Amino acid sequence: PIVLVQVERTGKDQRGSGFIHAEDAKEYLLEECGIPPQHVAIKSSEKDDIEGMDLDARDVEVRYIITKQALQEGWDCSFAYVLTILTNPSSKNALTQLVGRILRQPNARKTKVKALDECYVYCFQQNAGGLMNAIRAGLQGEGLGDIAGRVAENTDDVVHEPQEDYGYRKQFKKFEGTIYLPHFIIQEGGTWRELRYEMDLASRIDWSTADVSSIAKLHLEALESKDEHTAFKLSSDPAQMVEKQKSERLEGGGLTVDLLFITRHILDVVPNPWVAYKVAREAIEGLRKNNAEPLIAANLVYIVEELVKVLQEQKDTQAEILQKGTGFEVPKSIRVTKSNVLINARKGELLQKSLFEKVDKDDMNTLEESVALCLDEQDKLLWWYRNTVPSGYFVQGWQKNKVYADFVTAKTKADDPTDYGSVMVLETKGLHLKNEDTKYKQSIFEICNTFGKQTPWGELELEFSQKEVEFQVIFEDEWKQRVLEEFR
């Protein structure tokens, strides 16, 4: 497929005026995404990189075409069915026409490959829900009602407009700048800084102690290691596209035991290529003691997969966390989409105990929304805060990915209902997510709870003394009971 990128400006003197320019998009593709220059073309009134080019030809290298309105003007290409819209069109009809043109491209044929038989539209500066409904309605109006019901949305990283900043509720203003959550940090000279995975943990792994002896005990399957040559031809049936003509096995060939191949595939775990090569050689030498070379070669992909698992497990085990209590300060305001404010539907009112005046419904899945509504009705809960990614609170553990909890809650003091004595950091999980990642988060939270008891907040010289902080993972089948027990 060819990706069409629709930008706001293409003129030579229009770059840097606050609008997304064709050269901005091209620069991003080349420098940030690593796309080869010959794969990117610009089509505009001033610059036409595809003039005279047959985009249907098999040897054409163009994969991305950056334009402003060329598609709307009647330009066609049957491979151009991925559309990235960086503009903010005021007319949804124009957007529907764009999608309609993609779906009606001449000479386009079904391949029976689901991913290739779909049109993809990525929108920036658009409200995903309203956009999707408008496209459905537009397709029905243009006689494409049979596919309107199959319009699906994926709202990852969609920017919603308009938004407003909301601060603490009036009754919680006194807590501004005084709410802290613990971090693991590193002492460097006379100062402390946030723990960083690559710098502070991964770089300190001692790979000289890596034990790959278990690889030598792998059971290898006697697979035939030969190259296969398969020929296809165009089918006379338009719906089938191609049909298999013949398939034959070639003598010789197949995989060989290539240490460089193994090294490249374990670099994500062992970042030093010389050390990775040494580890790869040690693993293969262990296998050679009891297995013939052709058998090892035939199972090379399987061996690499198992080696990565062994090394990653040892990397996680070795990673040491150096910590001292310090805090992440809860922000003084958050940004909320005006049209997506979460309300208590049962009471028909805004939430009353959220730390901030309003909460964005788009920031939550169904489970998280249910938990939020339940928290808001607890008598002994003073306030709750919906943690956000990536600007929110996180704990950096011994694995690369940071742990972002879903909620931070504050329980009222027994002798003062206007203040709180304890804070609970909550991570919610669906039943289908009880996996290794969840076990890791539970382990991290257990460590946080252990060290939190060892270092009283009063020793940290923050306005957070005499507060307790607890970390919990709660699952879909138990969350309500856990919440009611905690705040009853």
Which pLDDT belongs to residue 320? 44
pLDDT at 258 over 70: yes
Ranges 211-220, 387-396, 432-441: which has the least confidence: 432-441
Per DSSP, helices labelled H in 190-272 are 259-266
Q: What's the mean pLDDT in 261-273? A: 85
Q: pLDDT-derived band of residue 284, with 50, 70 and 90 as boundaries?
A: very high
- Mean predicted lDDT score pLDDT of the chain: 74
Ranges 43-57, 159-173, 265-279: which has the least confidence: 159-173
Closest to 371 in 3D by CA, of 198, 286, 487, 215: 487
In this predicted model, what pLDDT tens digit does every residue of 331-389 receive, in sequence order? 677 777 766 677 766 666 778 888 887 787 777 778 888 888 888 888 888 888 888 77
> Can you name the residues that pair with 469 across neighbouring β-strands?
423
Q: What's the mean pLDDT in 31-43? A: 86
From the options 3.90.1150.10, 3.40.50.300, 3.40.50.2300, 3.30.70.600, give the CATH code of 3-148. Answer: 3.40.50.300
Question: Which one has a higher pLDDT value, 466 or 6?
Answer: 6
Tell me if the pTM is above 0.75. no
Distance (Å, rounded) from C-alpha 344 to C-alpha 376? 9
DSSP H or E segment with residue 475 = strand 468-475
Distance (Å, rounded) from C-alpha 438 to C-alpha 443? 9
Distance (Å, rounded) from C-alpha 92 to C-alpha 139? 11
Q: What's the mean pLDDT in 461-473? A: 67
Hey, where are the domains in the chain? 3-148, 163-186+323-487, 206-318
pLDDT at 131 over 80: no
Which pLDDT belongs to residue 250? 46
Distance (Å, rounded) from C-alpha 40 to C-alpha 178? 51
Question: Which one has a higher pLDDT value, 185 or 43?
Answer: 43
- CB burial of 127-159 (b: ≥16 within 10 Å; e: otherwise) equals bbeebbebbbebbeebebeeeeeebeeeeeebe
The token duo for 373 is 């509504």
Q: What whole-number percentage of the chain has pLDDT above 90? A: 4
Ranges 112-116, 218-222, 246-250, 300-304: which has the least confidence: 246-250
Which pLDDT belongs to residue 110? 72
